[in-house]
Amino acid sequence: MNKEFYEIIDSLKAYVDGEKISGEREICFLPRDAKAESSIAHGLAVLKEKVSSCQKCPLAGGRMNVVFGEGNPNAPLMFVGEAPGADEDSQGKPFVGRAGQLLTKIIGSIGLTREDVYIANILKCRPPGNRNPLPGEIAACSPHLVKQIGEIKPRVICALGKFAAQTLLSSEAPISRLRGKFHDYLGVKLMPTYHPAYLLRNSSGKKDVWDDMKAISKELGLTVP
């Protein structure tokens, strides 16, 4: 056996001893960052499995797919929208319709891609005819989102539109008053901004959304392209 082999054994032994001292009962030989990432992904997968059979509100009866959310489990930035529409319901993915294409551009405006961030909604199932979420649906579904945020632990949440902002902040203030500044959501900085579907109808809101994205980018220490 050569010297290098014994050095590897020694450092493995030191690693295992260190894990035992720090109270770890399960020893994992992945690099630390990969280990953290895989346990967040595991936590999200367990939650997704549970949510996929949710029957807590009548929307379960009309869905094609539960739209759990998707993206980087380690994302520093998480977007939260309102509820899936027809495209999202049929594909089981958030923000894949016209509003989603605009959201992809908004994410790109600060030099990120959809794969860098995490995207989810207040409701995981589509309300019929894309009507507004009902208070009972929000009450039934939002615990799923709270757990999802708890797994991802983003540094910043961007709440898209009135329903996301008002639900997460337990506020009834209009989105025009909530947007433009950071709020506290259980210790996470939360920036409300206009929903991309609103921007498709009111392009005058784009300047405000750009200002909100610049504030998020600054908070995350990103360099705006």
Tokens representing 4? 């290098």
Nearer to ligand URA, 18 or 128 (CB): 128
Q: Which is nearer to ligand URA, 88 or 137 (CB)?
A: 88
Per-residue interface string for the shown chain with ligand URA, residues 37-66, x marking contact by CB under 6 A: ------------------------------
Q: 173, 183 in Cβ contact below 8 A?
A: no
Q: Is 137 in the site for ligand URA (CB under 6 A)?
A: no
Residues 105-134 that bind ligand URA (CB under 6 A): 121
Query: Should residue 145 be labelled a site residue for ligand URA when binding is judged by CB under 6 A?
Result: no
Q: Taking the CB of residue 101, how many other CB atoms lie within 10 A of it?
A: 13
- How far, CA to CA in Å, does 66 sit from each of 51, 54, 59, 89, 114? 8, 9, 10, 7, 19
Q: Where are the alpha helices (DSSP H) in the chain?
A: 3-21, 32-51, 86-91, 98-108, 135-152, 161-169, 175-178, 196-201, 206-219
85 binds ligand URA (CB under 6 A): yes
Nearest Cα neighbor of 212 from 181, 167, 188 is 181
Taking the least distance from each CB to ligand URA, the nearer of 134 and 222 is 134
Q: Please tell me the distance from the alpha carbon of residue 146 to that of residue 111, in angstroms, as a whole number.
A: 27
Site string for ligand URA, 189-218 (x = CB under 6 A): --------x---------------------
Choose the stretch contacting ligand URA; rule: CB under 6 A; options: 34-42, 90-98, 176-184, 200-208.
90-98
What does the block give as tokens for 34? Answer: 């990969």
Among 57, 83, 106, 152, binds ligand URA (CB under 6 A): 83
Closest CB to ligand URA: residue number? 81
Q: How remote is the C-alpha of 63 from its chain's centroid?
A: 21
Contact residues for ligand URA, defined by CB under 6 A: 81-85, 88, 94-95, 97, 99-100, 121, 197
